[in-house]
């Protein structure tokens, strides 16, 4: 390996096939094709960043143009061709960045250059990095040469987004998919680098680097470089906590503490843990994703031993996960998962995402109830209700709720604290001159009377009514419905009628919206008019006559 570079990612870049980390199967296939002299016209290497695509391309170019008959000799004493290719100055090996040369003119120049044979080696080789960046016209210009190139010409492509390459190009290449470097292989490689650098780092820190790099050798070396620079500045041995701070990474055991307190209903502790995590620079979406990861481990704690090499938990954390998981039923864990996924969708709608996560955690505590023999569990989604926190801590809260009147299976029944069966204050008992609303049409009329235009719009355009009786309104689920609709309607109905109403969202298919009914009615009237004799006579007199709309003048004047 080259030792004249200061950046570790360049200093320890492999120069020969045997130095590559991972990718053994691909290396064996390439070596075999060279030995048998069955070399394809074009190679395509694809994979995530930092797994060796461009590196393998350069090593392949050296193997094809090496002057030594026994190519193993170049490991210790490189030939002139290998040296020049390593330094990117060989006249017959042209390395192109497709991100900066994407046009058809660049490819035409390349094809024109390919007409001339190699000057000092066996093959003329074009290495095109990030080949997916080429334009459609550039790919088309390349097709003919790619399929039937001269014997001396070879193409080597590298890309991170193989799906963007036309199938006509893919079919002309021999494709190699480079996999992420395994946890163990990358850890062994980092230990070797540390040894060669004559540094000392705890193995836990190296494991953290492997975890963050996600199978990328370049990322791992860059993180290690940053860590060694920090170590030199402080002149003291780094510990795991300092390394996490340098990388902006937080210990996921904090989330375990948070979940434990959440299940106990300790709101102050939960918010304190989350704020500590947030103050470490962890974005709300990243926190939710890590929260989901912990939930996954809680659900699959029986197989957690097989995951121990790929996550950063300690043995103590493993025991905590298993102990916690054994006291929570699967329904509770799955409910955690469902609410966490939902908050990921909702969080982008809120300006301050940090506050949204806090409310999400509080919401989980407000939904829980205690069951004998379990730490905590949650009510079924179809019966979820938001109630006062004091009620949650009351032992009587564990009593079963009354069955629904019609025993319907509703989803996302939304009830607010104002709808709970509480004693009405004397002031509320004195409510007078309240209206009585007996039908859906009367409700819309009331909105017009009270000038609640937004509410009227939602009722007419986005509400599919199922039933309307006994202060209960059941409507079918509609994604276009405003998120605050039920809250606003419940509040207004209480003001207008002096009574409490329950709004249900159901999976049942409701009737058409008022707007759809009105449009259909208008369409039918329009058809009837067009089929009338009067219209036909008018059409005979005026052939270009066309009725496009009808209006009720009495209704317009009333409005």
Out of 80-84, 250-254, 501-505, 518-522, least confident range: 250-254
DSSP state of 252: T
DSSP state of 398: G
Q: What's the mean per-residue pLDDT of the chain?
A: 78
3-state secondary structure of 119: coil
Helices marked H in 162-252: 167-170, 183-196, 203-213, 217-234, 240-247
**Contact criterion met (CB below 8 Å) for 98 and 130:** yes
In Å, what is the CA distance from 402 to each residue of 166, 415, 423, 469, 497? Answer: 61, 15, 18, 19, 25
Percent share of the chain, pLDDT over 70 = 80
Check residue 178 and give its pLDDT. 92
| Maximum alpha-carbon separation in the chain | 104
**DSSP run (H or E) holding 505:** strand 502-506
pLDDT of residue 177 exceeding 90: yes
Walk me through the domains of the chain, giving residue ranges and CATH numbers. Answer: 8-177 (3.40.50.300), 183-247 (1.10.8), 253-398 (1.20.272.10), 524-558 (no CATH)
Helices marked H in 368-484: 389-393, 426-429, 440-449, 453-461
Closest CA to 387 of 421, 359, 438, 353: 421
Which pair of structure tokens corresponds to residue 294? 């912990």
Task: Estimate the share of the chain in helix, then strand, then coil, as percent rounded to the nearest 5.
Answer: 55, 10, 35
Q: Is the dihedral of CA 10, 12, 16, 20 positive or negative?
A: negative
Alpha-carbon span 299 to 182, nearest angstrom: 25
Which pair of structure tokens corresponds to residue 502? 């329950």
DSSP 316-356: HHHHHHHHHHTTS-HHHHHHHHHHHHHHHHHGGG-S-HHHH
Mean pLDDT (whole number) for 392-408: 40
Alpha-carbon span 214 to 220, nearest angstrom: 8
**DSSP run (H or E) holding 175:** strand 174-177
Highest averaged pLDDT of the listed ranges 50-54, 249-253, 432-436, 438-442: 50-54
Q: What angle do CA 205, 211, 216 make, to 5 degrees?
A: 110
Residue with the bigger pLDDT between 434 and 335: it is 335
Helices marked H in 419-513: 426-429, 440-449, 453-461, 485-497
Count, in order, helices (H) and strands (E) of the chain.
25, 10
Which pair of structure tokens corresponds to residue 171? 């079919």
Q: What is the pTM (predicted TM-score) of this model?
A: 0.57
Closest CA to 218 of 493, 13, 497, 367: 13
Mean pLDDT (whole number) for 457-475: 84
pLDDT confidence of 312, banded at 50, 70, 90?
Answer: low
Which pair of structure tokens corresponds to residue 360? 């999400």
Check residue 452 and give its pLDDT. 84
Mean pLDDT (whole number) for 216-225: 91
Contacts of 80 by beta carbon, 8 Å cutoff, 6+ apart? 67, 120
Alpha-carbon span 379 to 329, nearest angstrom: 12
- Radius of gyration, alpha carbons of the chain: 35
In Å, what is the CA distance from 86 to each residue of 77, 189, 536? Answer: 13, 22, 87
Q: Tens digit of pLDDT for each residue in 153-170?
A: 999 999 999 999 999 999
**Contact criterion met (CB below 8 Å) for 464 and 509:** yes
Alpha-carbon span 261 to 273, nearest angstrom: 9
Alpha-carbon span 350 to 347, nearest angstrom: 6
pLDDT of residue 376 exceeding 80: no
Q: Tens digit of pLDDT for each residue in 330-374?
A: 888 888 888 888 888 888 888 888 888 998 898 888 765 444 344
pLDDT of residue 304 exceeding 70: no
Mean pLDDT (whole number) for 299-321: 66
Q: Strand order in 93-97's β-sheet?
A: 93-97, 124-129, 153-159, 42-46, 174-177
pLDDT of residue 314 exceeding 80: no
Helices marked H in 2-155: 8-11, 24-35, 53-65, 80-86, 104-114, 136-147
DSSP state of 89: -
């Amino acid at each position: 390996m080259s030792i004249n570079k200061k950046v570790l990612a360049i200093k320890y870049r492999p120069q020969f096939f045997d130095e590559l980390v991972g990718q053994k199967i691909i290396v064996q296939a390439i070596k075999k094709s060279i030995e048998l002299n069955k070399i394809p016209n074009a190679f395509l290497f694809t994979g995530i960043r930092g797994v060796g695509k461009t590196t393998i391309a350069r090593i392949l170019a050296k193997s094809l143009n090496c002057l030594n008959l026994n190519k193993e000799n170049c490991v210790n004493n490189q030939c002139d061709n290998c040296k020049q290719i390593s330094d990117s100055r060989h006249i017959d090996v042209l390395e192109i960045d497709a991100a900066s040369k994407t046009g058809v003119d660049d490819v035409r120049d390349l094809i024109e250059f390919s007409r001339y044979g190699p000057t000092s080696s066996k093959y003329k080789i074009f290495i095109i990095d990030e080949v997916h960046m080429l334009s459609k016209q550039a790919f088309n210009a390349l097709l003919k040469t790619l399929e039937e190139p001269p014997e001396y010409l070879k193409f080597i492509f590298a890309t991170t987004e193989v799906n963007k390459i036309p199938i006509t190009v893919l079919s002309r290449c021999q494709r190699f998919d480079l996999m992420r470097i395994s946890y163990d292989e990358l850890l062994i490689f980092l230990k070797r680098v540390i040894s060669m650098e004559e540094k000392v780092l705890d193995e836990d820190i190296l494991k953290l680097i492997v975890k963050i790099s996600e199978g990328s050798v370049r990322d791992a070396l860059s993180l290690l470089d940053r860590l060694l620079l920090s170590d030199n500045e402080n002149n003291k041995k780094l510990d795991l906590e300092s390394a996490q701070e340098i990388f902006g990474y937080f210990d996921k055991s904090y989330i375990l503490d948070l979940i434990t307190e959440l299940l106990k209903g300790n709101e102050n502790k939960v918010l304190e843990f989350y704020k500590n995590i947030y103050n470490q620079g962890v974005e709300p979406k990243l926190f939710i994703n890590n929260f989901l990861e912990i939930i996954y481990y809680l659900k699959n704690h029986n197989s957690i031993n097989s995951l121990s090499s790929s996550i950063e938990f300690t043995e103590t954390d493993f025991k905590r996960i298993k102990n916690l998981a054994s006291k929570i039923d699967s329904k509770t864990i799955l409910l955690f998962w469902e609410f966490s996924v939902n908050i990921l969708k909702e969080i982008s709608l809120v300006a301050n995402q940090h506050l949204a996560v806090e409310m999400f955690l509080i919401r989980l505590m407000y939904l829980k109830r205690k069951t004998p023999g379990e730490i905590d569990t949650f009510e079924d989604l179809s019966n979820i209700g938001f109630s006062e926190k004091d009620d949650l801590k009351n032992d009587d809260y564990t009593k079963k709720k009354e069955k629904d009147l019609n025993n319907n299976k509703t989803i996302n029944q939304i009830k607010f604290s104002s709808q709970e069966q509480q004693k009405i204050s004397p002031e509320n008992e004195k409510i007078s001159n309240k209206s009585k609303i007996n039908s859906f049409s009367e409700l819309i009329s009331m909105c017009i009377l009270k000038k609640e235009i937004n509410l009227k719009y939602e009722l007419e355009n986005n509400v599919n009514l199922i039933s309307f009786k006994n202060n209960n309104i059941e409507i079918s689920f509609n994604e276009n419905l405003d998120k605050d609709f039920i809250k606003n309607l419940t509040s207004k109905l209480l003001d207008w009628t002096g009574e409490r109403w329950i709004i249900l969202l159901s999976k049942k298919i409701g009737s058409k919206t008022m707007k759809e009914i009105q449009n259909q009615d208008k369409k039918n009237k329009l058809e009837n008019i067009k089929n009338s004799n009067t219209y036909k006579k008018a059409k005979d007199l005026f052939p270009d006559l066309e009725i496009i709309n009808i209006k009720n003048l009495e209704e317009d004047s009333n409005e």
